[in-house]
Structure 1
Amino acid sequence: MVKNHSSLLQNKEFQYFIIATTILDLGKKLSWVALSWFVYQITGSALSVGIVISASTISPLIASIIAGGILDSYNRKNIIVIENIIRGLILSLIPILFWIDALDLWSIVVVVSINGMLSSFTNIGSRTILPSLVNKNQLESANAIVSMTSQFGYLIGPSIGGFSVALFGEPMTLFFNVLCFFIAAFLYSLIPTESYQSQNHQKTNVLSTDNRMRKFFFDTKEGMTFLLKFKPVLFIAFITFFFNLTYSPFETMLPIYVKDILLTGPESLGFMWTAFAIGAFLGSLLWVKIKRTFIYSYALGLIIILWGITPTFFVYFSNIYMIYTLMFIGGIVYAPYNIISPTIQQILIPNDKRGRVLGVIGLIGGLGFPIGVYFSGMLAEFLGASTIILGSGVLTILLGICVIIHPSLRFSQMTNLDNIKENL
């Protein structure tokens, strides 16, 4: 495993990929802290925070199937590079509108919706191209490194975001995220085009416009059909849906919990996510160090249960240092999920179909987050942030129990996935 890590980190293409994804994660956390605090300060409404977060999460889901088909059929490199540049320009509209006194809630919703739709190209594209950058036997290690290094953005992002909001204000904090998009676009441009492409790219280039459209819709339908044949991957998509559904109320309520229960400011919210990121980094490191011979359904179920236990304790503590500790522990137990899930998907799905299938998976799994955000925002007006957070934890624990019981992921070695793939 150590040798795998060493050779991966010497891979130039993988280096560019890792740095770009880390910077985007940093920018994402910067904008999350700034926007959630911005909206709550402007409106004083938990529902408004929920609306903005829902808009930012629903929009990439709507675009995910289309994005996957486009990534499989056209130049992936150009799409990802241009998309990040455009996202940076669009996000800059929020501070500009604020400075000219033309910003309102619905302006923010429109901007984050467009930004979210475009984000699906990089979100799906990065998972699509990773298996082309590394050897197959390095893929799980590569996903572990992606998970660990992405936590660096989450590690410093919340702290920088919290302090930046306090010192410079929300508009300037969002401009830092704009810069992150531009840097990521440059780094993605350094990866050779052949590392991005599938066989469909060359086939699509010789087709007429009408035939391209027909092929696009046919390929998208084929991706959906393909997914239905792979029960383990389909099951992971539904696990992700319900995990997002039960987790999202917790994330939505954190700004309100910090302000109204802990009686602190954005700096504390930033430190909470920093504690989570430190724990997640450690959790990813521990996962790649241990010998994984246990059943994957048990592993995923236990991860979900342990994460669900974490927010239930928020109801019983108001000491900020205890909350930091809980977030740290939560990060440790949550981290392996982001290693197991993508590795299974990337091994099972061929490169020429990967964009389309991951787009469908993203749609199924991702729908849980905005649904959870919306309903938790509405219920919070009546039940309060603490009750919503407690409910989030209890439902997550129940989900973990269901995952352990279900037989779809009853295998313990990643090599077994090849046998599954051959039999389908």
Structure 2
Amino acid sequence: MSRPSLDANAWRVIIARLISRTGGEAGFFVGVWGTAAYALDATPGSLALLMAAMSVASMIGAAVAGVLVDRFDPRRVLIASEVVFVPAILTLTTVGSMAEMTVRAPLVWLVGSIGVTAITAFPPALAADEDRVARTNTLMEAAGTIAFVLGPALGALTVRLVDLPAVFVLDAATSVVAVLLLVPVRVRRVEARERGTGLAELRAGFRYAYRSRAIVLILALGSLTWLSFGAFGALEPLFYRDVLGTGPEALGYLNSVFGVGLFLGAFTLDRNALRATNLRTVVVLTAACGIGALIYVGTSSLVVVAVGAVVWGVLLGALMPLLRTLLHLHTGEGYVGRVSGVYLVHKSVGELAPLAVAPALAALFGVQRVLLASGVLLLVLAPTAWRRASRLDGERPVRPLADRGLAERVEDLEERVPLA
């Protein structure tokens, strides 16, 4: 069966994601991490505090954005977030201490997380059938992974040619270009629904997500992956500085190598989407990501780190769009924004939780050993979900088709997932 073609609207969104995320990756890996670790002499504790504050801000932004997306559509929310992001990111050009960075960066990430939620919820707004939803998710991931390659490398080049603050200017410029691309985009109209208060709609989104056994499993496996990532968020710059003995440029270049792996993983999923779109594949990929992480941080050799970056990247590049596609296919229209918000809240919580203990563990056992333990966590725990994934794959999924009414979809879900 041939892969479905995408229209101009989808390609505009994909290209906008590529450009905006290129600046975002440069701004985070080289801008925020580079400034913190090398210009501001961050300690494990101060870096963990920064990452914790950014994660909390992202969690709040994702929850709020889910309601906004379901009310106004992902296009409007994404454009608004990109516009506000420009002056926000420019405030980081004048940061002079870790205290200032810890106050300003979370505010920037609050705005950015609204855009991330909107882009996460975009595919069902562009296409009604699941094959196009899956392909749009995969190509968005591919665009994001190309950005992961280009962003850190472009950030490192910007540091070499100009200075660290110029990386934040680059990030702002890419958001402006993204807005220009998004303005002509048109999204599908979804059925009107009665609106409640913002808080009531937010609660309804969480309730909808937690009533679905499939969505709960997707959230659990995603959270497990993000828990592993949380340790890297606190300690990876220090791994480069203290274990590998490299500077900020190596941090950028090797993360670009990681991005090559992400692209290859997304490309592989795109070629095999019909066979791979199931929960059992998610379980296998989640466990395999643990192996990739172990290779990545298992030695002090830059060559082995580069190999590990590619292997880990391939696995994650396939896993991330698959998680989002399955999330969309198990979510009815009218709830995609809020369920996407729940998904990203879990992402933020998963990344945040290790920050409470990672610095202390690193002080006791060393940075490298703590990162190795995060890989073991995935490898050991993910396979325990295999039986549940197999059962759910055997059930009929809730498909977000345009010709099914919202009430019918909710009734179908409640019949399959009783509350008592």
- Whether TM exceeds 0.5 here: the answer is yes
- The residue that corresponds to 1:207 in the other structure is none
- The residue that corresponds to 1:56 in the other structure is 54
Cα deviations across residues 240-297 of structure 1 (Å, max 9, x unaligned)? 2222112221343221111212112222212221111111211222222237547834
Give, in angstroms, the shift of residue 314 of structure 1. 4.4
Matches for 1:245-394 after TM superposition, within 5 Å = 245-290=227-272, 293=275, 296-314=278-296, 316-394=298-376
Residue pair 2:78, 2:115 contacting (<8 A) in 1 also: yes
- The residue that corresponds to 1:164 in the other structure is 158
Residue pair 2:254, 2:306 contacting (<8 A) in 1 also: yes
2:18 is equivalent to residue 25 of structure 1: no
Kindly tell me: are residues 291 and 243 of structure 1, through their superposed partners in 2, closer, same or farther at Cα, counting changes over 3 Å?
Answer: closer
- Where does the alignment leave 5 or more consecutive residues of structure 2 unmatched? 401-407
Cα deviations across residues 165-185 of structure 1 (Å, max 9, x unaligned)? 343221011110111122222
- The residue that corresponds to 1:208 in the other structure is none
**Larger CA deviation: 306-315 vs 36-45:** 306-315
Residue pair 2:296, 2:306 contacting (<8 A) in 1 also: no
| CA distance in 1 between partners of 2:160 and 2:234 (Å) | 20
Identify which of 387, 392, 397 aligns with 2:379. 397
Give, in angstroms, the shift of residue 318 of structure 1. 2.0
Kindly tell me: are residues 418 and 50 of structure 1, through their superposed partners in 2, closer, same or farther at Cα, counting changes over 3 Å?
Answer: same
Letter in 2 for 1:149: A
Kindly tell me: are residues 275 and 378 of structure 1, through their superposed partners in 2, closer, same or farther at Cα, counting changes over 3 Å?
Answer: same
Cα deviations across residues 353-411 of structure 1 (Å, max 9, x unaligned)? 22122222322343010112342233223322111111111112122222324347641
Identify which of 75, 87, 90 aligns with 1:89. 87
Matches for 1:112-123 after TM superposition, within 5 Å = 112-123=105-116
Letter in 1 for 2:37: Y
| CA distance in 2 between partners of 1:259 and 1:155 (Å) | 21
Give, in angstroms, the shift of residue 79 of structure 1. 3.2
- The residue that corresponds to 1:134 in the other structure is 127
Quick one: percent identity of the two aligned structures?
17
| CA distance in 2 between partners of 1:175 and 1:169 (Å) | 11
**Larger CA deviation: 349-358 vs 85-94:** 349-358
Give, in angstroms, the shift of residue 305 of structure 1. 1.8
- The residue that corresponds to 1:184 in the other structure is 178
- The residue that corresponds to 2:403 in the other structure is none
2:70 is equivalent to residue 72 of structure 1: yes
The 3-state SS of whatever aligns with 2:393 is coil
Cα deviations across residues 52-76 of structure 1 (Å, max 9, x unaligned)? 2222222121232222112222365
Residue pair 1:71, 1:121 contacting (<8 A) in 2 also: no
| CA distance in 2 between partners of 1:2 and 1:377 (Å) | 49
Residue pair 2:26, 2:152 contacting (<8 A) in 1 also: yes
Q: What's the TM-score, normalizing by structure 1?
A: 0.87
Residue pair 1:296, 1:412 contacting (<8 A) in 2 also: no
| CA distance in 2 between partners of 1:295 and 1:181 (Å) | 32
Kindly tell me: are residues 377 and 174 of structure 1, through their superposed partners in 2, closer, same or farther at Cα, counting changes over 3 Å?
Answer: farther
Give, in angstroms, the shift of residue 348 of structure 1. 2.2
Letter in 2 for 1:160: L
Aligned residues: 402
Residue pair 1:18, 1:146 contacting (<8 A) in 2 also: yes
- Where does the alignment leave 5 or more consecutive residues of structure 1 unmatched? 205-213
Residue pair 1:35, 1:170 contacting (<8 A) in 2 also: no
Residue pair 1:297, 1:409 contacting (<8 A) in 2 also: no
Matches for 1:40-51 after TM superposition, within 5 Å = 40-41=37-38, 42-51=40-49
| CA distance in 1 between partners of 2:83 and 2:260 (Å) | 30
| CA distance in 1 between partners of 2:66 and 2:139 (Å) | 24
Kindly tell me: are residues 48 and 196 of structure 1, through their superposed partners in 2, closer, same or farther at Cα, counting changes over 3 Å?
Answer: farther
Q: What's the TM-score, normalizing by structure 2?
A: 0.87
Q: What's the RMSD between the two structures over aligned residues?
A: 2.6
The 3-state SS of whatever aligns with 2:121 is helix
The 3-state SS of whatever aligns with 1:358 is helix
Residue pair 2:51, 2:233 contacting (<8 A) in 1 also: no
Letter in 1 for 2:56: I
Residue pair 1:77, 1:196 contacting (<8 A) in 2 also: no
| CA distance in 1 between partners of 2:394 and 2:241 (Å) | 44
| CA distance in 1 between partners of 2:236 and 2:316 (Å) | 17
